[in-house]
Structure 1
Amino acid sequence: MKLRSTLGACLGALTLVLSLSGSAQAAEGNFHYKYVDGHGQEQYATLHDPHSGKCINLYAVGDDDDLPGYGPHNQTDTPVTVYVNANCSGPEWRLKANGAPAKDTLEVRSVRFDAP
Structure 2
Amino acid sequence: MKLRNTAGAALAAFALVLSLPASAFAAQGYFHYKFVDGFGQEQHITLHDPHSGKCINLYGVGDDDEEPGYGPHNDTDAAVTVYLGVGCSGPEWTLRAKGKPARDDLQVRSVRFHTDRG
Q: Same fold (TM over 0.5)?
A: yes
How far the C-alpha of 1:17 sits from its partner, in A, is: 1.7
Q: 1:54-69 residue pairs with structure 2 within 5 A?
A: 54-69=54-69
Structure 2 stretches of 5 or more lacking a match?
none
What are the Cα deviations for residues 54-93 of structure 1, in whole angstroms up to 9, with x where unaligned? 0000000000110000000000000000000100000000
Query: Corresponding residue for 1:4?
Result: none
One-letter code aligned to 2:77:
D
Query: Corresponding residue for 1:113?
Result: 113
What are the Cα deviations for residues 15-42 of structure 1, in whole angstroms up to 9, with x where unaligned? 4224546x66000000000000111011
Q: 1:23-34 residue pairs with structure 2 within 5 A?
A: 25-34=25-34
Q: 1:1-116 residue pairs with structure 2 within 5 A?
A: 11=9, 13-20=12-19, 25-116=25-116
One-letter code aligned to 2:34:
K
Aligned mates of 2:80, 2:42 — CA distance in 1: 23
Aligned mates of 2:39, 2:17 — CA distance in 1: 50
Query: Corresponding residue for 1:3?
Result: none
Aligned mates of 1:28, 1:80 — CA distance in 2: 12
* Bigger Cα Rg: 1
Report % sequence identity.
62
RMSD between aligned alpha carbons?
A: 2.2
